[in-house]
Each structure stands twice: as structure tokens, then as C-alpha cells.
Structure 1
Amino acid sequence: MNDWHASDHLVTRYADGSLPEPDAWSLEKHLERCGDCAVRVSRAVRATAAEAVLAEVRGAVMAEVSAAAPARPPAHGAPPPGRPAASRARPRSRAYRWPSTGSGAVRVLWALGPAVRGAWLPAVLLVAAGAVALAHGGGFAGARPWLLALAPVVPVAGVALSYGPHADPMHEITAATPSAGLRLVLTRTAAVLAVSLPLLTLAGALLPSTGAPNAAAWLLPGLALTLASLALAGYVGLRAATAVTGGAWLCAVLGPVLTAPGGLTRELGLRLSSYLDGAPAQGGWAAAAVLSAALLAARRPAFHFLEKS
């Protein structure tokens, strides 16, 4: 039951097209749950010049449907044409219903997004399983530092593949729905985090430590980088934002290691310890996550236009 209803002024502005897009999307979302307001908006739209256009479109669609519908053959055992119409009438078949089990699965997969449905999920499984196999099957004791170096950018890559025409062939339809924008981006980001965080943390716990930070030390940095990517996306778009944050992390971690004179794994472990170990480092990542979340909330209206061009 709704406690709020659209005012007459809001309905009138929506009908004549003068309502700003964010307010119009909010009203459309309300109309999904409020039949009274939907009736009022429908009457207001019919009172404008749009009614003639809608009637013309409706008539053209119905004419096309009628012309394309194949003629029904007479039913087996139907009475001859001379019989009364009542005796020739056949019982109507029940309307088709979408299978209840399938519709829920379809809606869940649509909400979770392309990253969980596509190649990103097998890639995460390959990284986790490959690190464990390399450590225990290949005898490589330094697998944990390399996994911890890659783990924070895995959810960032998943976010980049979750929203936009480059990743979703149905993006134009998705972007036109009232649920599009920040709400859908956060839903798909949560799905990416729910898969990558426990999977990579479990894989790290199965690896030898060899002086590297513990397996859960990357969680706050991964969350902070993901939120920073979303906050930056409000300014430069999702792909560019994830490229900046993910690339910055990899350059900060791997850049000094590749130029160090010592062993790569040892230098990587020392570099990760300075970034991940200890209360000051983790506190800094927590502060970065909170700041990114605040900036994301401030940039929320920008997500109505995200990846629409």
C-alpha cells in the first residue's frame, strides 16, 4: 500500500513532457505499484495531443497483428456453418503464462548482469583454481603474493563488464527501464563482489603465506577500488573509470617490483605488506571506501545517463 501519491501538478507536467527526466523516471517507478496514480496519469496523457498519436499507433499495430494472424482451421467435429453461432462456439484456450520457475531465473540473471553470466565468472574460477594448482601441484610457494596483487582488480573488471552496450546486448532496453541507473549498477556490483570476494579469499587461504599478507588483507582495498571506480564513473564513464583505478593499482604494485634488483616474488611480498598489512594501511583503505561511497551518493543523478551514448 502506497503512502505517497503524485500531485496534480506532477501529473500534469509529466503528461505535457515538461517534467525533468529524473523526476519522470521516479514517477514511472511509482506507477508500477500504484494503480490510482497510473489511472490519473493515463487520463492526463489522453487529454493532450498525444492521444491522437497513440490512437493512430494503436490502430496501426492492431491492423498489422490482424493481417499477420493465420486463419484458424475449423475445429474437429465443429458444426456446419448453418448452425447457430452459440453451437459453433469453441471454448477459449487459457492464456499462455510464463513458467513460474523460469521467470524467476530470467529476472535474477538479468539483474545480476553480463559479468556473472559471461566469461568473467570462468576467468575468476581459473585465477583461483590456477593459483591453488600452481602452489600445491607445481610447488610454487610464492603464489599468494601474486594472487593478492591481482585480487583487488578482479571485482573492478567485473564491474566494467556488468553495465553498458559494450557488455550487454540488451543494454538499450535495460537503460530505458525505471530500474536503470545507479540501482541496477549497484545490484550488478553486489553480484560481482558476492562471487569474487569469498572465492579469491578462500583460494588465498589455501596458499602458503611465505611472508605475504593474510588472505583477507585484500578485501578492503578491493572494496575501495570498486567504489572508487563507481564514483569516478559518474564523471568519465564506467569503462574509463575502471581502467583508471585498476591500472593505478597494478602500476603501484607491480611497477616497483619489475624494476627491483631482487627476486620478483620477494619484492612483491614486501610491497604488498606495505600496502595491506597493519591498522594504518587498512584504516586508509576504509577511509577511501567511505569517501568513495559518499562521492558516489552525491553523483547519483549522473547514473541516469551512464553508458547511454
Structure 2
Amino acid sequence: MTGWHAPETLIARYADGSLPDADAWSLEKHLEFCASCAGRVSGAVRATAAGAVLADVRDAVLAAATPAPAEAPPPRTPRLLWAAAPAVRGAWLPAVLLVALGAVLLAHVAGFSGARPLLLAVAPVVPVAGVALSYGRHADPLHELAASTPSAGLRLVLTRTAVVLAVSLPLLTLAGLVLPSPGGPGAAAWLLPGLTLTLAALALGGWLGLRTATAVTGGGWLCAVLAPALATPDGAVARHLSDQLSAYVGGAATQGGWAAAAALCAVLLAARRTAYDRLERF
């Protein structure tokens, strides 16, 4: 919004509470970068009937938050750490380690030849599950507070998604590299499908809610990959699973299809970005 300043009519409507939510969020976002408009909005709000009440609340909060003279000021938590923390706490990170180490133990201790195909089948849904578990009231004790800020919505979801991917992608790919390969897709063949499923879950989240969307995408992938292999009558689950994965993620043409699908999901997510302004807000 460089060069643009809020008109007086817009500020007046914001101050008296008559401005529509979408316009109010847009104005609040502008205020993050425009000190001039922020000062004008602050003055307009103070001039309303609620101004005196807000001033009393502000004084009470400052009085409670001001440390005693002998106390050192409490350390401030970096904004990025505050935004990303729910993505790496709780049961999700141990679950990622369990999947990676479990596959390695199955291959090198139990001698299971289908450890790599099984890992490649499960790996794409791990970041999808991580995204679902890192956003919402169930994941963040400060969710209501975070959801009421202009920096909430899609930006917060993408921050936590980036953290989930940064943790899960290296761990699961490294686990795949140390597993014996009986043929079939390589250890990194799951990366594009995993990214696509994650973006698809985010795009669908604008319509279905994030947890439902991740259940649809992750569950659909597991059913498509595991069900045919488990239903084989001859019991050669590992071989059939490897063949199934070769069809779904193997080859340049298939990977190109996943890349195109990822790009399409990213476009849909960008088009529906405003849906996250109200996602799980109330």
C-alpha cells in the first residue's frame, strides 16, 4: 500500500465499528506499515465513547506488566519462534521420528524387505498430519489471541507448514536413503507427492476446515496406495506395494504430473487465501 493513506471516512467508520470485517482487516494490515495512519486511527478511536474505557484498560495492563524496579525485564520471545512453536511440539515430532526409525529398524533388525516401500507410502501424509496438528485451538493455547491479529490467517498457517516441512522432509528422506532398495522408486520420490498433498490440504481447508481437509487428502492417499497392496491374495504385500508406488510416484512423467498438481494447488490456495481470515477464528 505504498503511497496510499486511509481516508477520514474509512477511519471514522473503523472507529465507530461500522466498517465491514474485510475492510477492517485490510486497514489493520496497512497500519502495520504506516505510522501516520496508525496515529490517525488511534486518535479517532480515543475520541469515541469507548476511548476512555480503552485508556483505563491500557493503564491497567501497563501497570500489571511493568516489572518492579529491582527486577530485570522479562525476555521477549521472537515473533517467528512464537508463530512456529506449535508446529514442533506435542506428539507430532516424536511421531515423525517413530516413522523414520521404525522403518530403519524393520529393515536392518527385522529384515523386512518392504521397509522402503512402506516408508514411501506413509511419508507423504506425515507433513499433512503435521500441518493439521499445528494450527487451531487444539494446538495453540494462544490461538484466540493469535487469530485476532492481522498477521493471523494464511500467513500463520504457512509459517507452521514451512516448519513442518523443514523437519519432516530431511528426516524421512534420510531414513529412505539408509534403507535397502529392492527396486522401485528412489528415496526422494515421495517429496513432490508430499508437497502436493500438503498444498491440496491447505487449499481444501478454505472450504472444509484444515483438519477435515487433511483427513480427506491424507486418507485418500493411504487408501489409494495401501488398499490394493493389502488386498493382494498371494500375500506378497511388499512387492505389490513397490509396484503400486512405482505407478504413483515413479518416472519423470509421473513426477511432472505431481509438480503440475502442486502448482495448481498453490494457485487455488492463493485464490482462496482470504478464507483463512476466519478459519477457526471463533
Q: TM-score, structure 2 length as denominator?
A: 0.90
SS of 2:186's partner is coil
Q: What is the alpha-carbon distance in structure 2 between the residues aligned to residue 9 and residue 274 of structure 1?
A: 60
- RMSD of the alignment, in Å? 2.3
CA contact (8 A) 1:142 1:208 kept: no
Amino acid of the residue matched to residue 247 of structure 2? S
1:219-257 deviations in whole A, cap 9, x for unaligned?
Answer: 110000000000000001001000000000000001111
SS of 2:94's partner is helix
CA contact (8 A) 2:106 2:115 kept: yes
1:195-214 deviations in whole A, cap 9, x for unaligned?
Answer: 11111111101111111210
The corresponding residue for 1:72 is none
Q: What is the alpha-carbon distance in structure 1 between the residues aligned to residue 128 and residue 154 of structure 2?
A: 16
Unmatched tracts of structure 2, length 5 or more: none
1:36-78 deviations in whole A, cap 9, x for unaligned?
Answer: 222111111123332244356568x48xx69xxxxxxxxxxxx
Matched, 1:285 2:258: yes
Q: What is the alpha-carbon distance in structure 1 between the residues aligned to residue 263 and residue 153 of structure 2?
A: 21
The corresponding residue for 2:154 is 182
Q: What is the alpha-carbon distance in structure 2 between the residues aligned to residue 166 and residue 155 of structure 1?
A: 17
Matched, 1:306 2:282: no
Moved over 6 A (4+): none
CA contact (8 A) 1:146 1:268 kept: yes
Q: What is the Cα deviation at residue 137 of structure 1?
A: 2.4
Q: How many residues align?
A: 277
Q: What is the Cα deviation at residue 21 of structure 1?
A: 1.9
The 5 Å alignment of 1:58-77 reads 61=60
Matched, 1:39 2:51: no
Q: What is the Cα deviation at residue 30 of structure 1?
A: 3.2
Amino acid of the residue matched to residue 233 of structure 2? P
CA contact (8 A) 1:131 1:143 kept: yes
Matched, 1:258 2:230: yes
CA contact (8 A) 1:217 1:277 kept: yes
Amino acid of the residue matched to residue 140 of structure 1? F
SS of 1:126's partner is helix
CA contact (8 A) 1:144 1:212 kept: no
Q: TM-score, structure 1 length as denominator?
A: 0.83
SS of 1:117's partner is coil
Amino acid of the residue matched to residue 281 of structure 1? T
1:197–1:56: structure 2 CA closer, same or farther, 3 Å change rule? Answer: closer
Matched, 1:207 2:179: yes
The 5 Å alignment of 1:90-239 reads 93=69, 96-99=72-75, 103-104=77-78, 107-239=79-211
Q: Which structure: larger Rg?
A: 1
1:298–1:193: structure 2 CA closer, same or farther, 3 Å change rule? Answer: same
Q: What is the alpha-carbon distance in structure 1 between the residues aligned to residue 82 and residue 52 of structure 2?
A: 35
Q: What is the alpha-carbon distance in structure 2 between the residues aligned to residue 51 and residue 190 of structure 1?
A: 40
Amino-acid identity (%): 69
1:193–1:57: structure 2 CA closer, same or farther, 3 Å change rule? Answer: closer
The corresponding residue for 1:14 is 14
The corresponding residue for 1:89 is none
